[in-house]
Amino acid sequence: MARLTADADQTRWVPITDSFGLRGRRARKKAIRMLLGQANGMLGAEARPGGAFAAWAMSQAAPALMRKAAGRVLVWVWRSDPELVVVMAQIQQLTPQLRTARAMMPMEYDDTEDFRGTYLGTGERLVMPTPPARDGTATPPPFATYTWDTGTHLITVTATGGDRERFGTVIPAVDELARSLRVVDDVVAGEAGPVLRIDPA
């Protein structure tokens, strides 16, 4: 089964995947509060930090959910300020439905630029520090997306920011994290042999 791995700079990023430690839990809670606050604003409610209990409950569940995803989803938050940016990497099998959904994305997603990963080759990058609001809703949070189409899988990296003014300052670090992303696959040796994990690096 294909899964993702990356060489995240530990001085900059706190991994959410399998992070059951105290430092990881605090970072998760802050990042989740930021995301909940943005969701409130997008749904038309007053933009405010997410509820403390909801953020706590989600922060407790996040590592187990990430572990269950078995490497198909990886998440990091900015170490010095977890509410500044949350980065999620995901690998999905390319189905006709997924291709159709990508073809129907808003026009803003056409303004991509080439982005070369160290292991994944050339993909696309889109940075939206000031996304336009739609139908009178609140202005969406700043984000950046990175995508690679391998022919069989779609690999995406999405960085969501909590501060428009400072979001651009972390984009170089997000670029570095996205470039380090690679796919690890399992190969079965023989009909009933052990599983051999091959890292293309």
Torsion of the alpha carbons at 58, 16, 131 and 104, rounded to the nearest 10: -90
Rounded CA-CA distance 142/105 in Å is 17
What range defines the domain where residue 121 resides?
A: 3-198
Tens-digit pLDDT string for the chain (201 aa):
788 999 999 999 988 765 544 455 666 666 666 655 555 444 444 444 444 444 444 444 555 555 555 578 888 888 888 888 889 898 998 899 988 888 888 776 778 999 999 999 999 999 988 777 666 666 778 899 999 999 899 999 999 888 888 999 999 999 999 999 999 876 555 554 555 555 555
Q: Are strands 195-198 and 85-93 parallel, antiparallel or unpaired?
A: unpaired
pTM (2 d.p.): 0.74
Q: Are strands 143-149 and 121-128 parallel, antiparallel or unpaired?
A: antiparallel
Please state, as a whole number, how many other Cβ atoms lie within 10 Å of the Cβ of residue 181. Answer: 23
Rounded CA-CA distance 47/164 in Å is 14
Domain count, the chain: 1
Whole-Å CA distances, 153 to 22, 66, 76, 176 = 35, 19, 22, 22
109 with 132: CB under 8 angstroms? no
